[in-house]
Amino acid sequence: MSEIKDLALAYNIIGELYLKINQVFNFIMLIGVIGAFSYVVITIWATLYYHRLGGPIYASMSLLSTTVWVVNESVSTFIICIVCDWFSSSRKVTRSLLAEIIIDYEQATSVRAAAKSFMELVSAWPLQMIVYDMFQVDISLILKFVSTCTTYLIIMLQFIHFV
């Protein structure tokens, strides 16, 4: 029973830390996502423009240099997304393990009660990083980012083709 209480205390500390990190890094995450998207937009536009202007060799030189900037700007955002998704998945695993303890009637009543209170604590701390209540930072942010960039590429290809 003391192990469950110790785990609940550790989870509470992690939840408070997660809340503080979310408050402190909201602006940095927003600027990181906007910066990464801006670099991708500029890279797509410049590559298409230079490809039309100077041919594929000139476009590949420009693409190489701007790709380095895109990777540099987006890799930190993607790492943060992966870590936040890992926290979310570990929370789900914790909930399922606590549910197993609560359902197991062979456990002592005090252990089951401690697991129930820990389950309430897990429900209270969702461990989600949400940037200014606009978007959640997890794997879905990476997928949305790639989807938006792909849509922009298609629009730019169509626009450049007709100009």
pLDDT, one tens digit per residue, over 39-77 is 888 877 777 777 777 666 665 666 677 777 777 777 888
Angle between helices 56-103 and 139-162 (to 10 degrees): 150
pLDDT, one tens digit per residue, over 23-35 is 888 898 888 888 8
Any idea what DSSP says for residue 138? S
Quick one: CA torsion of 111, 115, 121, 127, rounded to 10 degrees?
130
Length of the chain in terms of residues written: 163
Considering the chain, what percentage of its residues have pLDDT values greater than 70? Answer: 91
| Range 87-93 average pLDDT | 88
Q: What are the phi and psi torsion angles at 4 (to 5°)?
A: -65, -40
Helices (H), the chain: 2-54, 56-103, 109-124, 139-162
**Tokens standing for residue 71:** 């990777």
**Tokens standing for residue 61:** 């030189």
Name the residue range of residue 51's domain.
2-162
Question: CA 101, CA 7: separation in Å to the nearest integer?
Answer: 14
* Beta strand 130-131 pairing with 135-136: antiparallel
Domain count, the chain: 1
Question: CA 57, CA 51: separation in Å to the nearest integer?
Answer: 8
Tell me the average pLDDT of the chain: 84
Structure pTM? 0.75
- Choose among 117, 43, 112: nearest CA to 74: 43
| Range 109-124 average pLDDT | 90
The three state secondary structure string of 103-135 is: HCCCCCHHHHHHHHHHHHHHHHCCCCCEECCCE
